[in-house]
Chains A and B, each alone.
Chain A
Amino acid sequence: EAGVTQFPSHSVIEKGQTVTLRCDPISGHDNLYWYRRVMGKEIKFLLHFVKESKQDESGMPNNRFLAERTGGTYSTLKVQPAELEDSGVYFCASSPLRLGSGANVLTFGAGSRLTVL
């Protein structure tokens, strides 16, 4: 079974430019999450998709960030325009949709490192 794949693995851009990160979840996983780790700090939640719908986007820092998951398969996270403080590692994770409140075991991708100069 293929895992969660993310592209690119590393992106270096200048302040003001646009970057789009892509995540391909495990096939059949309806839950898709974006997380971010900035400057070695905690991994912070950005948003959660269930299929193509945004279930929770309370962690999105501002309107420069736009996440989409058209068709409920892969997802993109666009940062436009990028600022210096956006630098960090962006992780994508997926999990199957389960009824009830059981353990939600997330499978993570390797992350996309974003460096904004």
Chain B
Amino acid sequence: GEDVEQSLFLSVREGDSSVINCTYTDSSSTYLYWYKQEPGAGLQLLTYIFSNMDMKQDQRLTVLLNKKDKHLSLRIADTQTGDSAIYFCAEKGDAGNMLTFGGGTRLMVKP
């Protein structure tokens, strides 16, 4: 099956930028997603990008996609303590509606 890989943990200081990386294997990915999970809550969609795009910006969030290397990143500018959460990368192939998720990256923001 297809794989999505993420690093487990990232720690940054408040006000710094955070960059969370993700790699995937599905060469037929059509959409890639970033979800955020806060403690005790469900997964909240942050943003998604169509595979023909290489960048998408939404306020403090910037998504970069390198389709050739199958690498996706999420940059959070001016990281706040409220950004502390687990961030999941996911991809959708060209067949069906199923999303394949990575293992999540726990972001810890230190004051």
Contact = CB atoms under 8 A, between A and B. Distances in A.
Contacts of B87: none
B41 A45 contact: no
A14 B40 CA distance: 23
Contacts of A41: 103
A111 B98 contact: no
A41 to B, nearest CB: 5
Contacts of B16: none
B48 A105 contact: yes
Contact of A91 (B4, B43, B100): B43
Contacts of B98: 33, 45, 48, 56
A60 interface: no
A44 B101 CA distance: 7
Interface residues of B, number: 26
B7 interface: no
Interface stretch (B60-68, B73-81, B88-96): B88-96
A40 to B, nearest CB: 7
A104 B42 contact: no
A106 interface: yes
A101 B30 contact: yes
A2 interface: no
Nearest to A42: B103
A31 B98 CA distance: 10
B42 A110 contact: yes
A35 interface: yes
17 contacts: A33-B98, A40-B104, A42-B4, A42-B101, A42-B103, A43-B43, A45-B100, A48-B96, A48-B97, A91-B42, A103-B48, A103-B92, A105-B48, A106-B99, A108-B42, A110-B42, A111-B42
The 10 A-B pairs of least Cβ separation, nearest first, read: A43-B101, A108-B43, A108-B42, A42-B103, A110-B42, A104-B97, A103-B31, A109-B42, A45-B98, A42-B101
Interface of A: 3-4, 31, 33, 35, 40-45, 48, 55-56, 91, 93, 95, 101, 103-111
